[in-house]
């Protein structure tokens, strides 16, 4: 069955380190998204991609970057991790704009 | 700017009750709307997608409606069960050109045996 996976599921890192969270989907979806979920803020969009080499900033993109070199993967990089980036990160994908989005299981990131 | 609101933030009902979860949005030009379920510590599970041209969508004991003129969507759960306990989130697309979902804060449902 097609699916969307994230790794690692849990990560503890130190302030200032570079961290990369992986997202892989096997639906061959064009669109991929990264969200973070925090108490009191709900789900907020970090970056999104409508296709290979097409990436865009979301509402909370500062300190994060993405690149898309193939259809299946959209890794999220924290350039220099900060304590404010402690959160649960979700990756999602959809076939076309406005279509049903499917979410991965999430990565819980703690920055000490 | 489209905003999505879910009230109440929490709801507790006895098992077997039929219930309605509410979702309101500020811009009637909302495109498609999606309902999700999230269990504690888990990812989001898609329940239903209501397309802009539809008024409702059904899946098992779930029925979701979309009334763009009033800025409301409702998720009806029939004959609730303890296994329905979870947080329910609604999210809408602002237009047909955007792939970005705008999320409500969610309603946490507890169904008591």
Q: What is the pLDDT of residue B18?
A: 97
Backbone region of residue B45 per phi and psi (left: phi > 0; alpha: psi in -120 to 50; beta: other values)? beta
Q: What is the pLDDT of residue B45?
A: 96
Q: Please say whether the beta carbons of A80 and A63 come within 8 A.
A: yes
Which has the closest alpha carbon to A60: A80, A75, A39, A38?
A: A38
Chains A & B: contacts with CB separation below 8 Å:
56
Q: Which residues pair with B21 in a beta bridge?
A: B75
Task: Give the angle subtended at the CA of B103 by the CAs of B102 and B109, to the nearest 5°.
Answer: 160
Q: What is the pLDDT of residue A75?
A: 98
- Choose the mutation target among B6, B29, B34, B43 for the interface with A, i.e. most A CBs under 10 Å: B43
Q: What is the pLDDT of residue A57?
A: 95
Backbone region of residue B55 per phi and psi (left: phi > 0; alpha: psi in -120 to 50; beta: other values)? alpha
Q: What is the pLDDT of residue B19?
A: 96
Shortest Cα–Cα distance, B73 to chain A (Å)? 16
Q: What is the pLDDT of residue B1?
A: 78
Where residue A15 falls among pLDDT bands split at 50, 70, 90?
Answer: very high
The residue written with tokens 């959809």 in the block is: A94
Q: With a cut of 80, say whether residue A2 has pLDDT above it.
A: no
Q: What is the pLDDT of residue B4?
A: 93
Residues of chain B with Cβ-Cβ distance to A58 below 8 Å are: 100
Which has the closest alpha carbon to A75: A83, A65, A89?
A: A65
CB-CB under 8 Å, A97 with B96: yes
Helix (H, G, I), strand (E, B) or coil at B31: coil
Q: What is the pLDDT of residue B94?
A: 81
Which has the closest alpha carbon to A86: A26, A28, A17?
A: A17
pLDDT digits (tens, 9 = 90+) for A68-86: 999 999 999 999 999 999 9
CB contact A42 to B (< 8 Å): yes
pLDDT digits (tens, 9 = 90+) for B93-107: 987 777 889 999 999
Q: What is the pLDDT of residue A48?
A: 95
Taking 50 as the pLDDT cut, the residues of chain B under it are: none
Strand A19-25 with A4-7, pairing: antiparallel
Q: What is the pLDDT of residue B27?
A: 84
pLDDT digits (tens, 9 = 90+) for A18-62: 999 999 999 999 999 999 999 888 899 999 999 999 999 999 999
């Amino acid at each position: 069955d097609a699916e969307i996976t994230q790794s690692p599921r849990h990560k503890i890192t130190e302030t200032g380190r570079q961290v990369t969270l992986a997202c892989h989907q096997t639906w061959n979806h064009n669109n991929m998204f990264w969200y973070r979920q925090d108490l009191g803020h709900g789900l907020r969009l970090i970056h999104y991609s409508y296709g290979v080499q097409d990436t865009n900033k979301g509402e909370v993109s500062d300190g994060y970057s993405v690149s898309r070199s193939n259809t299946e993967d959209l890794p999220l990089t924290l350039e220099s991790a900060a304590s404010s980036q402690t959160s649960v990160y979700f990756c999602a994908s959809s076939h076309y704009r406005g279509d049903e989005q499917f979410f991965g299981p999430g990565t819980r990131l703690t920055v000490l | 700017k489209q905003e999505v609101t879910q009230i109440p933030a929490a709801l507790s009902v006895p098992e077997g009750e039929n219930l309605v979860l509410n979702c309101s949005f500020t811009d009637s030009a909302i495109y498609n709307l999606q309902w999700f379920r999230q269990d504690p510590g888990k990812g989001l599970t898609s329940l239903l997608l209501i397309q802009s041209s539809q008024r409702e969508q059904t899946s098992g004991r779930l029925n979701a409606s979309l009334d763009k003129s009033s800025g409301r969507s409702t998720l009806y759960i029939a004959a609730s069960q303890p296994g329905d306990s979870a947080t329910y989130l609604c999210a809408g697309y602002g237009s047909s050109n955007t792939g970005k979902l705008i999320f409500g804060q969610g309603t946490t449902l507890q169904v008591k045996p």
